[in-house]
Amino acid sequence: TNLVVKFFAYSRFLCAKMTATYLSQEAIEIVRSIRDTNWIEEETWDNNIFCCRPAPYDCDISDPMVDSCSCDCRIVYGANGVELDEQNPGSLSPLWFSPDTIPYFSYVQVGTPTEFERIIHIEETEDDWLEVCATTQWKHKQQALEITVCDQLYNWYDPWEI
C-alpha cells in the first residue's frame, strides 16, 4: 500500500511539472506568434511585445548608455486576440482553469483557480535580438517549485529580400 501511495503522489508531482513546462513553453510560442504576426501585418517586428512601454518603444539598445531593455508581462486574451500586458516586475499572476473556454488557462477569474503562476520576462539584448523567458511556479507539498523556459527571438525576416 505504501508503494501505491508513493506512486500516486509522484505521478501528481510529474503531472504538475509537465503542466508548468507546457505553460512556460506556451508563453514563448505566444511571443513568437506576436513577432510573426507583426511581419505578416508589415509592422515593426517587436511591435506589441514590449508591454511596459507605450509605442513607439523608446528604449534604444544601440545607445552606449543602455545595457538592455526589459519588461515583465503576462498574456491577455482579449477582443483583439492575444496581447501582452504589463506585469509588476518580479510578481507572478495566478492562472485560472476553465475546461469550457479557450484558452483553458487564463488570468480571467472564471473556472477554478490553479496552483500555477506565470510571468514572461522579455529583454532586448542586442538590436534585432530578444531573450524571452517564461517562468511558471507552483507548490508541491508546501515546497515552491518553478520551471523557466527561455528562447532567443531574432528579427531575421527582411521583406526586401523576397
- For the stretch 104-158, pLDDT in tens is 888 778 889 999 998 888 888 777 888 999 999 999 889 999 999 999 999 988 7
Segment 36-65 shows an average pLDDT of 68
Rounded to an integer, what distance in angstroms lies between the CA atom of residue 38 and that of residue 46?
7
Residue 136 DSSP code: E
Contacts of 79 (CB under 8 A, 6+ apart): none
Residue 148 pLDDT: 95
The 10s digit of each residue's pLDDT in 24-33 is 999 999 889 9
pLDDT, the chain, mean? 80
**Block residue for cell numbers 520551471:** 147
Specify the pLDDT at position 48.
Answer: 78
Confidence of residue 5 (pLDDT cuts 50, 70, 90): confident
Average pLDDT of 56-69?
53
First to last CA, the chain: 65
pTM to 2 decimal places: 0.79
